[in-house]
Amino acid sequence: MLTTQTLATPVGPMQAVFSSAGLCMLEFAHSQRCAPQLAAVLRAKRLGANDLHEQASPASRALALELEQYFAGERLAFTQPLDIVGTEFQQSVWQALLHIPYGETWSYAQQARYLGRESAVRAVANANGQNKIAIVIPCHRVIGSNGTLTGFGGGLDAKRLLLNLERQATGEQPLFS
């Protein structure tokens, strides 16, 4: 069984999905990606829509508090247990995202180098695009090699807000206006 709850954030409502092992999904509730990401989680868990129950839980309350602290610039890292759903390669890419320091950005090429797969920049970018746990697994910290904002499931305005929030919380000037 999975539980879900929609959480209010400054970047819009986000759908959180939890298994008994941890957070499986945190997606922008109104994005086109939300339903396919949820379907992928259900498939991976070999569950159907009837196995998803909307309810508040200690885990969803804890995540809501951590997100509130994050958006207030008071939380630099999340402590939620994660139940990451994806291929072995995707999981390695997403684990690399967890090593990008708060308030900093990497390019897709830097991320590929970190993984020891310099020639896999496009595959790394595609895997980032399949990240099912936005913000907590910080795919928003990856930008184009030329320093520009690139795609983000929550939209470029949300990505800009997240990056600038982190920069300001560390005393740095925003990078993106």
Q: What pLDDT, on a 0 to 100 scale, did the predictor assign at position 40?
A: 94
Q: Is the pLDDT of residue 163 over 90?
A: yes
Whether 139 is catalytic:
yes
pLDDT in tens, 59-113: 999 999 999 999 999 999 999 999 999 999 999 999 999 999 999 999 999 999 9
Note the pLDDT of residue 171: 83
Higher pLDDT, 153 or 16: 16
173 confidence band (pLDDT: 50, 70, 90): confident
Number of domains forming the structure of the chain: 2
Q: Does 67 share its domain with 95?
A: no
Higher-confidence residue: 170 or 113?
113
Q: Is residue 176, in this structure, part of any structural domain at all? A: no
**Active-site annotation holder among 139, 142, 161, 162:** 139
Full residue range of the structural domain in which residue 111 is found: 88-169
Q: For position 175, what pLDDT does the model report?
A: 77
With respect to residue 76, please indicate whether it lies within any of the assigned structural domains: no
pLDDT above 90 for 119: yes
Last residue of a domain, one of 20, 46, 71: 71
| pLDDT for 169 beyond 90 | no
Share of the chain above pLDDT 70, in %: 100
User: CB neighbours of 170 closer than 8 A, spacing ≥ 6?
Assistant: 102, 103
Q: Is 51 part of any domain?
A: yes
